[in-house]
């Protein structure tokens, strides 16, 4: 049977021999014959500690997903699965599903068939196994390689794809997913994270019915402004923190993304994850390799909480820059001065940073440009020289003055953007992304530079390099990006406008690679008008990100809760500001569950407020290891009650920190005891409330020893005699 099938394929090759030389025809035929036997009944296992993803081949030599789920016992039980779903569905053939890949060949044929050729698996590190599966079209010279990295301890898998060909002219790629996954369950529940400026990562869960559900972005730059590139999927039943089978997935790409969830007529679910191909047909040249971004995912059998911890620990070890390096606390000047400042005003603020006890003073927007001074957001962007009226002695003077007062100095940059009212725009109008024959469109009075142009890449890199080189001692950068792509055309790309969305992101990474080659460990915050860039494609170059411009303490509980599903606490910059009507203690307690910073007028603080803030910084330093690197348990969701409770535990289960927030409580609210998690049931623990405001004492009656078993199975009351709205507690739990 197999020999007869081979004969039929060779006949097909002969029929298209006008396109192929006889030498190539024979070569392809020999390749098919060589691999025909080995392609039958192949089993390829990608496994972590608790998860197994198994591929095989069918009688036609195509790759199928045999199994994806929890590790089964005994070890090979997962191979008994009878699934026949093709792993990476191609367009133009017989499948009725949304394809992972679509190619139009030189002869106009819009089909692709992929057959298994070979696979390789190797141990990259003790924790990482790399697997590649090579697939080829039996008629056209197209190769697709599916890549996987399995992170054993973290139960995380990273998947991406390489596409290449040797046709005589470019082929047209119109779909190019990073990965496909297939499920067969009774029901599916999807959680998405969406929002807008100051409303980031709002969580919505819905039941998936037959048809297609798409989560995507078409904004290009600041791509995550309305939809975050991450999701949770519960199988069979709606999951909670501790129960249910949950897939958590995210795309490592700082540009347009697309997650497509298709439930077919047999109630099977098919997920396509990758770059959004919207307006992005890609002409792939012969021998060019198109590499998709990585789809990063984990499968938890213990609810959303375990899925989060898997991703967080992977991120600390592999996903973010210097994940285990201490982060800097800082004071930002924005709330105190805006763009209205001078040297004297700024240097006086250094003293406030010293009084707070933070590590660094960050100078935000407004310090640059002379011909078109940056006194508002309508001018100067692109002209990155210090404004001589505001800063007659330049940035170097500020660096030195900050150091004299015992604090480091950081700077704000937005190097990808330009104001039309700037010298840069006047000198290089061809460097701007804008439509010909149309009126210019402004958002926040600015436009985006054409980063696909190598000259612009040099300029953007030069902004960073010049700022750092001319001002030795700058210890931190806030990299901002306040505009998305609209009304967009690249003068540099000319007839290849459909490459723009992809090439912009690739070009950004080229610049960031150069920055990191020269400044490998400089702390840099990723900011984009709030949380417009929050993805693991960028975070390998950054130490943290700005989750939202909304720093209202109450709103931040929801925002930080949402981000915590995919990001560790040391990446989520959380600043104490004057937004909101809550007390200083409440706003501080909220910020301390992320990467603490301040953006306040220190001089306006009372003596007690200043003492409290200084002590809070010291307390944060003491407990930060547990918050940054510990295991997070979301004990009470703000979406379910008028309170929220978070717990971080150390790996050795000797210490834990509880953050307890009462929100807009009402008279009839009933708050039950809270059962802790992640402790050692055999250990005894003492609980102490910390971060108290001067002159106050704890109102929680917890001053005794508790066994871990009691704390986890009986629980403790975290509500004093009377629940007061917008109050909070931080508890330190220590094993004795």
Which residues are designated catalytic? 480, 549
The CB-side HSE value for 147 (13 A sphere, CA atoms) comes to 17
Q: Which residues are registered as beta bridge partners of 474? A: 409
- The burial class, CB within 10 Å (0-12 / 13-18 / 19+), for 712 is middle
User: Burial code of 564-586, b = ≥16 C-beta within 10 A, e = fewer?
Assistant: bbbbbbbbbbbbbbebbebbbbb
d(CA 519, CA 509): 15
d(CA 324, CA 23): 55
Q: Is 635 helix (H, G, I), strand (E, B) or coil?
A: strand
Q: Check whether 482 is labelled as a binding-site residue.
A: yes
Q: Is 173 helix (H, G, I), strand (E, B) or coil?
A: strand
Q: Check whether 197 is labelled as a binding-site residue.
A: yes
d(CA 486, CA 94): 37
Q: Check whether 479 is labelled as a binding-site residue.
A: yes
The region that residue 673 occupies, defined by phi over 0 for left and psi between -120 and 50 for alpha, beta otherwise, is: beta
Among candidates 135, 134, 136, 139, which has minimal Cα distance to 107? 139
d(CA 604, CA 608): 12
Contact 260, 214 (CB under 8 A): yes
Contact 505, 512 (CB under 8 A): no
Among candidates 294, 313, 319, which has minimal Cα distance to 153? 313
The region that residue 227 occupies, defined by phi over 0 for left and psi between -120 and 50 for alpha, beta otherwise, is: beta
Q: Which residues are registered as beta bridge partners of 189? A: 207, 234
d(CA 36, CA 5): 10
> What is the 8-class DSSP label of residue 314?
H
Consecutive H or E run containing 128: strand 128-136
Q: Which residues are registered as beta bridge partners of 453? A: none
* Count of Cβ atoms closer than 10 Å to residue 444 Cβ: 13
- DSSP-assigned states of every residue in 359-379: SEEEE-S--B-TTTT-SSTTS
d(CA 677, CA 679): 6
Three-state SS annotation for 37-99: CCCCCCEEEEECCCEEEEEEECCCCCEEEEEEEECCCCCCHHHHCCCCCECCCECCCCCCCCC
Q: Check whether 365 is labelled as a binding-site residue.
A: yes
Angle 241-247-253 (CA atoms, 0-180°, nearest 5)? 115
Among candidates 702, 707, 697, 693, which has minimal Cα distance to 731? 702
Listed in sequence order, the DSSP H helices in 236-332 are: 303-314
First to last CA, the chain: 71
Whether omega for the bond prior to residue 74 falls within 30 degrees of 0, making it cis, is yes
Q: Check whether 480 is labelled as a binding-site residue.
A: yes
> What is the 8-class DSSP label of residue 319?
I
Consecutive H or E run containing 130: strand 128-136
Listed in sequence order, the DSSP H helices in 547-668 are: 553-563, 584-591, 607-629
Q: Check whether 364 is labelled as a binding-site residue.
A: yes
* Count of Cβ atoms closer than 10 Å to residue 127 Cβ: 17
Rg (CA), the chain: 28
The encoded tokens of residue 549 equal 């411009």
Q: Check whether 281 is labelled as a binding-site residue.
A: no
What residue numbers does the annotated binding site for substrate cover? 197, 364-365, 444, 478-482, 527, 549
What residue numbers does the annotated binding site cover? 197, 364-365, 444, 478-482, 527, 549
């Amino acid at each position: 049977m197999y020999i007869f099938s081979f004969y039929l394929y060779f006949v097909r090759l002969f029929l298209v021999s006008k396109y192929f030389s006889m030498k190539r025809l024979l070569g392809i035929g020999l390749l098919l014959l060589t691999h025909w036997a080995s392609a039958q009944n192949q089993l390829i296992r990608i496994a972590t500690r608790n998860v197994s993803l198994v591929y095989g081949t069918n009688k036609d030599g195509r790759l199928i997903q045999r199994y994806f789920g929890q590790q089964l016992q005994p070890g090979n039980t997962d191979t008994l699965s009878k699934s026949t779903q093709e792993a990476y569905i191609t367009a133009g053939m017989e499948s009725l599903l949304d394809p992972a890949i679509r190619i139009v060949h030189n002869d106009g044929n819009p089909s692709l068939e992929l057959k298994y050729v070979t696979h390789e698996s190797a141990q990259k590190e003790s924790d990482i196994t790399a697997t590649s599966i090579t697939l080829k079209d039996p008629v056209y010279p197209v190769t697709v390689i599916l890549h996987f990295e399995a992170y054993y301890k973290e139960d995380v898998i990273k998947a991406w794809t390489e596409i290449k060909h040797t046709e005589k002219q470019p082929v047209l790629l119109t779909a190019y997913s990073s990965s496909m996954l297939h499920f067969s369950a009774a029901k599916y529940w999807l959680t998405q994270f969406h929002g807008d400026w100051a409303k980031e990562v709002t969580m919505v869960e819905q039941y998936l019915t037959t048809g297609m559900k798409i989560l995507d972005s078409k904004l290009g730059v600041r791509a995550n402004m309305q939809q975050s590139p991450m999701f949770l999927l519960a199988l069979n039943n709606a999951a909670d923190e501790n129960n249910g089978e949950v897939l958590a997935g995210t795309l490592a790409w700082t540009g347009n993304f697309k997650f497509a969830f298709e439930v077919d007529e047999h109630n099977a679910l098919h997920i396509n994850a990758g770059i959004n191909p919207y307006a992005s047909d890609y002409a792939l040249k012969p021998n060019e390799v198109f590499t998709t971004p990585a789809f990063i995912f984990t499968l938890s059998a213990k609810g959303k909480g375990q899925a989060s911890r898997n991703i967080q620990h992977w991120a600390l070890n592999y996903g973010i820059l210097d994940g285990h390096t201490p982060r800097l606390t800082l004071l930002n000047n924005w709330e105190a001065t805006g763009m209205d400042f001078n040297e004297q005003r700024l240097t006086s603020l250094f003293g406030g940073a010293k009084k707070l006890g933070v590590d660094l003073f960050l100078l935000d927007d407004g310090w640059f440009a002379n011909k078109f001074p940056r006194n508002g957001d309508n001018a100067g962007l692109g002209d990155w020289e210090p404004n001589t009226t505001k800063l007659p002695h330049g940035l170097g003077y500020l660096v030195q003055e900050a150091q004299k007062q015992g604090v480091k100095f950081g700077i704000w940059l937005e190097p990808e953007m330009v104001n039309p009212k700037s010298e840069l725009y006047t000198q290089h109008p061809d460097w701007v992304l804008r439509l010909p024959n149309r009126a210019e469109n402004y958002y926040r009075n600015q436009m985006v530079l054409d980063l696909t142009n190598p000259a612009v890449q040099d300029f953007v890199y030069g902004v960073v390099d010049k700022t750092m080189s001319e001002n030795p001692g700058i210890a931190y950068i806030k990299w901002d990006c306040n505009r998305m792509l609209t009304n967009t055309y690249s003068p540099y790309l000319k007839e290849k406008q459909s490459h723009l969305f992809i090439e912009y992101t690739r070009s950004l990474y080229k610049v960031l690679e150069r920055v990191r080659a020269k400044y490998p460990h400089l702390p840099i915050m990723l900011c984009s008008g709030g949380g417009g860039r929050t993805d693991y494609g960028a975070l390998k170059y950054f130490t943290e990100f700005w989750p939202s411009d909304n720093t209202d303490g109450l709103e931040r509980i929801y925002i930080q809760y949402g981000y915590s599903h995919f990001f560790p606490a040391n990446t989520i910059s959380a600043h104490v500001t004057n937004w909101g009507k809550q007390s200083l203690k409440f706003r501080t307690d909220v910020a301390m569950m992320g990467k603490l910073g301040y953006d306040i007028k220190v001089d306006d603080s009372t003596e007690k407020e200043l003492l409290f803030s200084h002590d809070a910084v010291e307390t944060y330093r003491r407990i930060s290891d547990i918050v940054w690197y510990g295991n997070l348990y979301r004990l009470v969701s703000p979406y379910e009650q008028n309170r929220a409770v978070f717990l971080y535990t150390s790996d050795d289960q000797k210490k834990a920190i509880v953050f307890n927030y009462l929100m807009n409580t009402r008279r009839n609210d009933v708050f039950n005891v809270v059962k802790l998690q992640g402790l050692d049931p055999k250990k005894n623990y003492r609980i102490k409330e910390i971060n108290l405001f001067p002159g106050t004492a704890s109102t929680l009656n917890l001053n005794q020893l508790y066994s871990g078993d009691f704390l986890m199975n009986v629980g403790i009351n975290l509500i004093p005699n009377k629940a007061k709205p917008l109050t909070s507690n931080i508890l330190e739990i220590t094993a004795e």
